[in-house]
Amino acid sequence: MFKGTTILCVRKGNQVAMAGDGQVTLGEQIIKAGARKVRRLYDGNVLAGFAGSTADAMTLMERFETRLEEYSGNLMRAAVEMVKDWRMDRALRRLEAMMLVADGEQTLLLSGAGDILEPENNVAAIGSGAGFALSSARAFMEGSDWAAERIARRSIELASEICIYTDNVVTVEVLG
């Protein structure tokens, strides 16, 4: 749905890793290769990654962080309230972005359509290269003893070889 990024979250053992590529495009032109689309929130206890318009994603990230503070880091409660705002507020509902958020216990995919999805198989992805990164990560989860961080990084790198809107400048944040 959204061009210009790939974000992947992997849970394995006691580790949660979220990775994102760094490419920013404007139409058919690459304007930046090292953007940071994965962030730590709530005193480093929550990971968040975004796909879509940068300004829209940053607005949503700030709104989500406010909700995390309001609900003392309760990821699900903050997500529910943020998605309610996203669907009901006239300005917010026009925003074109998706988010992946994770803490030590759960991973959630959030969208402006009102979706709050918990992924299956301990892997979730959003963005233009999501399918490529997701399938790579699932294969590594089954066929390797790699840690979540290594799976996330390598899966984004593989997606960058297929998706023209994903590059191999990877940011990875890890919990656990």
Query: Two tokens at 28?
Result: 């058919």
Side chain identity at residue 133, one-letter code: A
> In this structure, how many other beta carbons lie within 10 angstroms of the beta carbon of residue 106?
14
Which helix H or strand E contains 66, and what residues bound it?
helix 54-70
- CB of 39 closer than 8 Å to CB of 20: no
Catalytic residue among 5, 107, 166, 171: 5
- Determine whether 66 is an active site residue: no
Q: What length is written for the chain?
A: 176
Give the Cα separation of 13 and 37 in Å (integer).
24
3-state secondary structure of 7: strand
Rg of the Cα atoms in the chain:
15
- CB of 85 closer than 8 Å to CB of 54: no
- CA distances from residue 85 to 48, 69, 108 in whole angstroms, order as listed: 18, 16, 17
Q: Which sequence positions are flagged as catalytic? A: 5
